[in-house]
Amino acid sequence: MPLFLTVTRISGEGEHTDVSLWYLFDADTITSYDEDEFDAIRWLTVEQVIEEPGESLDPHVHRFTHKLRHARAARHDGRPRRRHDGRPRR
């Protein structure tokens, strides 16, 4: 199940709406990437992401990182995970 969903309007040539599902995965499993789609990839800690200027990252990555931190904190202190409307997740 994705942790995060974003919808971004991409303007300019090839204008379209980009819908992204954000998942957590083990970074050690990534052995290659689409070099036609990306110039490079790099791994950052949560703290490094928060410190990185917003304009150098995906426009939603800071929101995703804050949500990830909140989800991790809730698991560590035994609080139930909540839906956006405040009700507990099943």
Residue with tokens 């949560």: 46
Task: Write out pLDDT tens, residues 3-61.
Answer: 899 999 989 888 999 999 998 887 788 888 899 988 988 888 889 999 998 888 888 99
- Cα–Cα distance measured from residue 1 to residue 24, given in angstroms and rounded to the nearest whole number: 9
- Cα–Cα distance measured from residue 36 to residue 42, given in angstroms and rounded to the nearest whole number: 16
- Cα–Cα distance measured from residue 48 to residue 16, given in angstroms and rounded to the nearest whole number: 30
Alpha helices for the chain (secondary structure H) = 46-51, 61-76
Task: Write out pLDDT tens, residues 45-84.
Answer: 889 999 998 888 888 999 999 999 988 888 777 665 555 5
